[in-house]
Structure 1
Amino acid sequence: EALIQRSMRDVRVPVLTEAQYLEIASIRRELEGFAAGRAAEMAGPKEIRRLKKIVERNEAAAVAGRWPQAVKYNQEFHFALVEAAEMPILLAILSGLWLRMGPLIAGYYAREQLGLVRHHQAIIAACESRDPAAAAAEMRADIDDAKEGIIRYIQSFTIDE
């Protein structure tokens, strides 16, 4: 569930449990790694320019401390990569997963103020050199790198309750 309606005026975003987050992260790791590899095979100059532009905007937003925008560009990059892979069905599947974990990712990065683009730049480089294995590995690393911090973030909610 992306939202829980507790009454007519009370709609909330549920906090994922640690187990739910880990399940979604492992699914994303495989599916988005697959998509990144496919994008490295399929992406042309136009798609690569789009990915670079998103990363530039992401970096600028982070430097300016505009974390909601930076997180938005992070998601935009992930989706643009799947579009470059020409996988619309996968994009629909991932949209549902991102809907569930988007608020968690946004809150985590806004609190921690960590860079979001290191692996994204490496993924673009892998697309430019047509290296599907490198693109897939960088996407998996991108998802893996946030795991421990996001788990701590989830635990901070459960400790407070």
Structure 2
Amino acid sequence: MSRPPTTQQFVLAELRRAILARELLPNQPIRQDSVARGLGVSRVPLREALKILEAEGQVVYRPHRGYTVAELSLPDLLEVYRLRELLESEAVTLAVDHYGAAELERVEREHRAVVDAAERDDLVEMIAANRRFHFALLEPAGMPRFMRVIRTLWDATDAYRAVYYNSADNRSRVLDEHEAIVRAAREYDGAELVRLLRAHRQHAVESLRETVDTGDSSGWSSGGSSGAVPRAES
């Protein structure tokens, strides 16, 4: 994987990956010295990256205790997904009128990437490819301000997405739902895309509702309790 252009972006990407991979768990302290040492950076870009994650709601800062990974919250999940429904429904309705051969090829390419990652049991890459797939559907709307807000909402729920993708049944359902979404995109059917994407989000919320509400994250393995990010690829 190529290293992002700035040290801060590199650190931010690695922290996001660690949250997705469950190397950093909800309520787990983030030991800044250990993380900085593991990534081979100073604490300055690390602090800046943590401030970005704090603004997104992915980490929490408490005086005298430092940063911890945010605890999963059902009200937070429901609010973010409601906002996504409102914004993404509007975006995809506009985007479908701008689909051409290149846009549809991008959608199909990212769908294949999701399938390939699922076949390799590479959950982190599957989640990343899933994100690219969804934005390939939305970005042709040509509304950069909309996209910035939607990206922030996606960033805020990465930890929830990691829990959802831990289930083999959920991963299989994602692939089936994506197939239907691709067909609707090929047919330029905006109303069907809105319906399918709404059902896609609702299935995720329904699956996560009990897990998040009870705080049950069983089945996950931690990368350790030190708060370090053990792997940094350049």
Deviations 1:1-48 (Å, cap 9, x if unpaired)? 232234788533212321111111111122212222222221111011
Unpaired stretches in structure 2, ≥5 consecutive residues: 1-56, 219-234
1:85 aligns with 2:137: no
What secondary structure is seen at the aligned counterpart in 2 of 1:4?
A: strand
1:131 aligns with 2:186: no
Q: What is the aligned partner in structure 2 of residue 18 from structure 1?
A: 74
* Cα contact 1:3–1:11 (8 A) shared by 2: yes
Within 5 Å, give how 1:3-42 maps onto structure 2. 3-6=59-62, 10-42=66-98
Counterpart-to-counterpart distance in 2, 1:11 and 1:108: 24
TM-score by length of 2: 0.62
What secondary structure is seen at the aligned counterpart in 2 of 1:12?
A: strand
Q: What is the aligned partner in structure 1 of residue 150 from structure 2?
A: 94
* Cα contact 2:163–2:217 (8 A) shared by 1: no
Counterpart-to-counterpart distance in 1, 2:79 and 2:181: 23
* Cα contact 2:96–2:185 (8 A) shared by 1: yes
Q: What is the aligned partner in structure 2 of residue 146 from structure 1?
A: 204
The 1:159–1:58 alpha-carbon spacing in structure 2 relative to 1, beyond 3 Å, is closer
Q: What is the aligned partner in structure 1 of residue 167 from structure 2?
A: 112
**Higher helix proportion (structure 1 or 2):** 1
Amino acid of the residue matched to residue 154 of structure 2? W
* Cα contact 2:72–2:215 (8 A) shared by 1: no
More displaced, 59-68 or 80-89? 80-89
Unpaired stretches in structure 1, ≥5 consecutive residues: none
More displaced, 3-12 or 68-77? 3-12
Following superposition, the deviation at residue 158 of structure 1 comes to: 6.4
Following superposition, the deviation at residue 108 of structure 1 comes to: 2.2
The 1:30–1:5 alpha-carbon spacing in structure 2 relative to 1, beyond 3 Å, is same
More displaced, 80-89 or 70-79? 80-89
The 1:8–1:58 alpha-carbon spacing in structure 2 relative to 1, beyond 3 Å, is farther
Within 5 Å, give how 1:52-71 maps onto structure 2. 52-71=108-127
Overall identity of the aligned pairs, in %: 26
Counterpart-to-counterpart distance in 2, 1:158 and 1:66: 23
Number of positions where the alignment pairs a residue of Structure 1 with one of Structure 2: 159
The 1:8–1:46 alpha-carbon spacing in structure 2 relative to 1, beyond 3 Å, is farther
